[in-house]
Structure 1
Amino acid sequence: MNVERMIGRIEKLAKCSRSMRGVTRLSFTEESEQANRLVAGWMQEAGMQVRWDALSNIIGRYEGTDPDARVLLIGSHLDSVAEAGKYDGILGVIAGIEVVHAMHESGIVPKNPIEVIGFCDEEGTRFHTTLLGSRAIAGALREEDLQARDQEGVTVAEAMQAMGMEPDHFRQAARNPQSILGYLELHIEQGPVLEEFDQSCGAVTGIVGQSRYEFRVEGQAGHAGTVPVRIRRDPLVGAAEMIQAVERISLENEIVVATVGKLVVHPGASNVIPGMVEGTLDVRSLHDGTKQRVLFAMIEEFHRIAKRRGLVCHFRSVMESPAVICTPQFVETIEAALVELGMKPLRLVSGAGHDAMAVAPITNIGMIFVRCREGLSHHPDEYASPEDILEGASVLLNVALHLTT
């Protein structure tokens, strides 16, 4: 395994960015096309045949001794959030290429073919829709998903057309589940557990389910200097109490995490009592039943607070995704690889979504987490050390060889 090669490629991909600070690489843009061209070249160097599917997922295939055997997929995503770090998603793609490159250089040809995939639009930053590329491969993408718009009003379909693609062909990206052996994804942890245990890598047992809502609290706007506080119907004060309720209920149910991540105040003037507040509520847990119970408790509390303050509260569901459990056989194989490389068989839960959760309905899945400094991600200071990257790629190679030879 060549860690210098991996680091060099990560650095080159970081330059495919719209922003000077961190990495901003949105789907169906010149930056994403530039990244795809680099990845295609590296796949070819590793001995793979390269193709793009109908959603611009880039796929490198390393043929096995039995080309009719089921294929092992290894992948992650190539897009980013705004002003992101260098490693989120990218590390999984680069490590997958390195696994095949190491096999190719050593003359190892597995029985099963291996395909490395760089998925498009996992983050959903541009169109506010997540996992487009991996959902397409799983056959779960819908025609209406291509009508989502970015902030300029451009739809996914229009962005695809601008890149020379045929949006109507998106169903051609779907894979036959019977042709797939399984899916592996290596990813930075995006959390502090591996640092806490002083270990480079761990085995992921599952990915939390997510409920994402938008809410609107309506009150009565008024003059900031003339309306007494005691008779105001201020939706911002109400929203503040609601956010505290989210924290309180979350602390009472520790297997659930909940976040109000966005708040917009209308009209947003310093001398006007707000008339409306819009926000987002994100609730996650590996236990779907508990997540739903806690979510409903929060919504009920929002309505109670609103009624007491003379406000009106509305909710709209934006996303519902169930928890995903990684295939036990794959988890055990990853744990065995950890032990073989001198590490403990540490198990982790992913609190973030990944392409693996979209692929899970059609095949077995396994995930390897790699330590990142201070658990920091979605930030320009995101960092994984060369030593940890090498350890993670070595675990991935060990598992891939076990599954395909």
Structure 2
Amino acid sequence: MQINAERLWARLAALAEITDKAEPWTRRSFTPRFLEGRAWLEKEFAAAGLAVSRDAGGNLVGHLPGREAARVPIVLGSHSDTVPAGGRFDGTLGVLAGLEVAQSLQEQGIVLDHPLEVIDFLAEEPSDFGLSCIGSRAVAGALTQDMLAMTRPDGMTLAEGLAYVGGRPDALAEAARPRGAIAAYLEVHIEQGRVLESEGRDIGIVTDIVGIRRERIVVSGRADHAGATPMNLRHDALVGAARIIDAAHRKAFAGGTDDKPMVATVGYLVNQPNAANAVPGRVEMILEVRSGDELAVSAFTQELLAAAAPALAELGVSATSSLISHVPPTPCAEPIRTAIVRAADGLGLNHRAMPSGAGHDGMFVSRVGPIGMIFVPCRDGRSHAPEEWIEPEQAATGARALAAAVLELDRALAR
């Protein structure tokens, strides 16, 4: 089976151009620019011969019938939203490689036994509501009423955001799929690291996706005048936050193992009153911890704050935490990994097994059916940055491996 490498690259370039012109390459979920990208994708899905729909969870779905309509589908996809200045390939490669496979199947007269779906999942990246993987959560039946009540800074609720992008928050049960409703889920993604490039590999075959836990930590002190308050009488919440951040860095650095490394990040922080002449009285931050070790991820924040308590007491500040989200480590299914290996060997691709340190929609899709992922190298491992880049041939290699894996799985699962 052949894929059209030029068409795939042209689509990647065209979707990348739908961006916030002041901050390339940005297409944030729940924004007019995101809807512009979705409208373009919908036309491309239809032009490729797919039956197009949008489910209640705000996911864009393209459907291609199989020879046996009663079979559950093989699903390909990823997401089209980005982080700010987030790059041109994270997410979009998975959607457009899936679309290229579906279109190439039709053009070459290949009919699978299984139906095939290509899905652009809504808001895989952390949204302004504080939640990620919104569309795939809906598919897994894991988008709760509490989540729908989350608000972004302008006061819009997630329920209102879903309606804005064409979802139906009052009918989410229609988007949820029961376990076994997907025969297999496959996604092509840039590695977002340097292993494949440094080793000269064509693709990586993902073994598992790390667990991700996000907690909101609030450090409470007292706001005072910065000039009139002596150092020994201050209750500086920002100094307390700095102690916690440093301790989190050290704890993650010392934790983890070679096969299950650990990372911890505070990438979001709000300081109040945030004035040059005021002692900070309150700091809100989000701590994210990732590892394949579920117990270590779950216990990290509680252990961190317990260890930091004496230092915070010295400063006269306190800290509390509340859970935002927690997704346990997700293994990729052995039969799908085997199919990808066979596909890669048949294409003569140099490959290796590797974990994913980044989160993906597959974490939630795995609750519905078995998942697998294919990584392609990206330049210098850069991602979530304007410098994110892959070469056209690397995109094509990922799509060829995906197509071959789909054919392998279709035959294996039809037995």
Which residue number in structure 1 is paired with residue 121 of structure 2? Answer: 119
Q: Secondary structure in 2 aligned to 1:149?
A: coil
Taking the TM superposition and a 5 Å limit, the aligned residue runs for 1:289-368 are: 289-368=295-374
After superposition, give the CA deviation of every residue in 1:325-367 in whole Å (9 maximum; x if it has no partner).
1111212222232333333441121122111001111110001
8 Å CA contact retained: 1:19, 1:83: no
Say whether 1:136 aligns with 2:142. Answer: no
8 Å CA contact retained: 1:27, 1:120: yes
Distance 1:229 1:162 in 2: 49
Distance 1:166 1:299 in 2: 40
Say whether 1:404 aligns with 2:410. Answer: yes
After superposition, give the CA deviation of every residue in 1:120-150 in whole Å (9 maximum; x if it has no partner).
1111323222112111112222233322222
Distance 1:264 1:302 in 2: 20
Q: 1:176 to 1:292 in 2, by over 3 A?
A: closer
Say whether 1:371 aligns with 2:373. Answer: no
Distance 2:234 2:126 in 1: 39
1:5 CA drift (Å): 0.7
Q: 1:44 to 1:226 in 2, by over 3 A?
A: closer
Pick which of 14-23 and 186-195 moved more. Answer: 14-23
> How many aligned positions are there?
405
Paired letter, 1:316: S
Distance 1:257 1:162 in 2: 35
Q: 1:298 to 1:46 in 2, by over 3 A?
A: same
Q: 1:117 to 1:165 in 2, by over 3 A?
A: closer
Which residue number in structure 1 is paired with residue 177 of structure 2? Answer: 175
Pick which of 259-268 and 218-227 moved more. Answer: 218-227
Distance 2:144 2:345 in 1: 42
Q: 1:236 to 1:33 in 2, by over 3 A?
A: closer
TM-score by length of 2: 0.91
Distance 2:52 2:164 in 1: 22
Distance 2:76 2:165 in 1: 25
Q: Secondary structure in 2 aligned to 1:37?
A: helix
Distance 1:56 1:291 in 2: 30
Q: Secondary structure in 2 aligned to 1:136?
A: helix
Distance 1:10 1:132 in 2: 23
8 Å CA contact retained: 2:181, 2:369: no
8 Å CA contact retained: 1:202, 1:338: no
Which residue number in structure 2 is paired with residue 67 of structure 1? Answer: 69
Cα RMSD of the aligned pairs, angstroms, is: 2.0
TM-score by length of 1: 0.93
Pick which of 204-213 and 285-294 moved more. Answer: 285-294
* Structure 1, unpaired ranges of 5+: none
After superposition, give the CA deviation of every residue in 1:60-114 in whole Å (9 maximum; x if it has no partner).
1121111112210111012222222111111000000111122112111111111
Q: Secondary structure in 1 aligned to 2:70?
A: coil
1:19 CA drift (Å): 4.0
8 Å CA contact retained: 2:54, 2:166: no
1:265 CA drift (Å): 2.4
Structure 2 residue corresponding to 1:382, chosen from 375, 379, 388: 388
Distance 2:130 2:196 in 1: 30
Taking the TM superposition and a 5 Å limit, the aligned residue runs for 1:1-400 are: 1-162=3-164, 166-254=168-256, 255-400=261-406
1:162 CA drift (Å): 4.3
8 Å CA contact retained: 2:269, 2:286: yes
1:206 CA drift (Å): 0.9
1:231 CA drift (Å): 4.4
Paired letter, 1:182: A
Distance 1:234 1:52 in 2: 49
1:164 CA drift (Å): 5.8
1:279 CA drift (Å): 1.8
Q: 1:231 to 1:163 in 2, by over 3 A?
A: closer
Distance 1:392 1:156 in 2: 34
| Seq. identity, % | 38
